[in-house]
Structure 1
């Protein structure tokens, strides 16, 4: 009986023991990462250490999560954002490990960098679905920044791999220079394209969110009859335009991978609030207030990324 109570209190809430085990797992993962980088663990041992680190981080997250779930909203925000924080920490450590291998094993280091890019393209650690409107500004910035960062790493890894290919010595300088120049230009163009896309997306989001707010405000002052029906039709068209923007990925035009502007559940909830506000456009109605508040949050998140010329 005491063993059961050591894990959960009488009310069923997790105790501090879960947090302790989770913290110990994260600390062990950090220690193993530091050892693997400083001691340059190689070949199979390096890969095995990486797998152990990942398992420790995931295990620590799973064990400690119930403790945070029982806490306040601020703790909920922390626990739901923890995987992204870990991802942002692991990526530079992974790059540092690859760079540490490069002087002696450039091919292996290059493969590590390429594998990191492939992992990110395959989905990586997704943005948290919780508090999506409050995190929209950071979501836009992280999606672009992480994509460009992993593209740079993948490009560097590709250059290292090409350097290790069997090439006749007299052609090595020309091959290396041509490869670096070509790949570098492609990387620069792709990076500029990603940032331009995010700026254009942010501009469209703010423009259409503002239009939707104005449509609801005008509708709330309508007297009724034909005027109200016309304004309701205009508000529905404004929502259709905004909904089209929500259907885009942030950093890529390919829908097989990338980060959606907002999770589908959030978009559906906002659509329901907007539809209810159009049907009952009274300014004091709960649905109207909810819709306008969420639209203003979207507009504010895109304020610093406007570029009408992108």
Structure 2
């Protein structure tokens, strides 16, 4: 059993590629009529499969690294580095897109914690490989290797702190802007004249524009390819329709306002405990 796990970990592409193709198939399910005919509970369960599969893939890579420690230190280090690369490439593709607003709190947590976890897998792999390569070399070079390892570790700590700082800034901005949009909607609905409603409606739309900028921001990185968006496009579009309907609704249609407000409350709940006004 151990040899099988080590073999699978050392040949990660054999496992990752077909699994990634299965995930692509999962992502196509929401467009199928049979999928839409399922109950909400079943659809929620099925939409978790890509994330579960990704967790299994990460676990396989780490288990392969652990099993290879005693037999091949270079392979263990390679597994850890590949885990970092794999997360940078695949992370956003495995995050469920259905019910994304309801799952927003977990989505934000996974994005930031897995980013830091993968970062340290890469750092550990690089340091481990360097020490393994020097294990039979001149001991005089080990002092330089120790200094390089310490430098890399300090860089990893700085990068981790930067990721978490970005996370708290983003949560603070999301909470603040969703609250501003709620206040704009309340003021709009309490307007006493058509002229005032027009003015407040324009202000509400500007508040939505500001919130939209945050929703299309990546949680864990500012780069183009790696990283997870706060919400996927479909969830943002659904939220936009609810907000615009509340802005354009006639007086007395409280249900329309409540529908938009409930979605904004979900965003605030996702950020609860993560707000830091001092960042």
Q: Using structure 2 for the length normalisation, give the TM-score.
A: 0.86
Give structure 1 stretches of 5+ with no counterpart: 1-34
Q: SS at the partner of 1:243? A: helix
Equivalent residue, structure 1, for 2:84: 117
| Higher mean C-alpha deviation, range 191-200 or range 278-287 | 278-287
RMSD: 2.8
Q: SS at the partner of 2:133? A: coil
Equivalent residue, structure 2, for 1:138: 106
- Per-residue CA deviations over 1:152-211 (Å, capped at 9, x if unaligned) read 111111012212335851324213311220111011111111111111111111111111
2:122 to 154, 158, 165: 154
Shift of 1:86: 2.5
Shift of 1:285: 5.1
Q: SS at the partner of 2:67? A: helix
- Per-residue CA deviations over 1:132-171 (Å, capped at 9, x if unaligned) read 1100000000001111111111111101221233585132
Shift of 1:61: 9.9
Shift of 1:299: 1.3
Give structure 2 stretches of 5+ with no counterpart: none
Equivalent residue, structure 2, for 1:219: 188
Whose Rg is larger?
Answer: 1
2:164 to 191, 195, 205: 195
How many residues get paired? 272
User: Is contact 1:99–1:109 with CA below 8 Å preserved after alignment?
Assistant: yes
Q: SS at the partner of 2:223? A: coil
Q: Using structure 1 for the length normalisation, give the TM-score.
A: 0.78
In the alignment, the residues of structure 2 paired with residue 80 and residue 269 of structure 1 have an alpha-carbon distance, to the nearest angstrom, of: 18
Does 2:152 match 1:183? yes
Equivalent residue, structure 2, for 1:303: 272
2:53 to 66, 80, 86: 86
In the alignment, the residues of structure 2 paired with residue 259 and residue 209 of structure 1 have an alpha-carbon distance, to the nearest angstrom, of: 20
Matches for 1:250-289 after TM superposition, within 5 Å: 250-280=219-249, 282=251, 284=253, 286-289=255-258
In the alignment, the residues of structure 2 paired with residue 130 and residue 41 of structure 1 have an alpha-carbon distance, to the nearest angstrom, of: 33
Which structure has more RCO (C-alpha within 8 Å, separation ≥ 6)?
2
Change (3 A) 1:204 1:154: same
Shift of 1:59: 5.5
In the alignment, the residues of structure 1 paired with residue 208 and residue 9 of structure 2 have an alpha-carbon distance, to the nearest angstrom, of: 52
In the alignment, the residues of structure 2 paired with residue 170 and residue 39 of structure 1 have an alpha-carbon distance, to the nearest angstrom, of: 33
Q: SS at the partner of 2:94? A: coil
- Per-residue CA deviations over 1:54-97 (Å, capped at 9, x if unaligned) read 7479669969x799765421121111012212322331332121
| Higher mean C-alpha deviation, range 89-98 or range 294-303 | 89-98
Change (3 A) 1:207 1:101: same
Change (3 A) 1:196 1:139: same
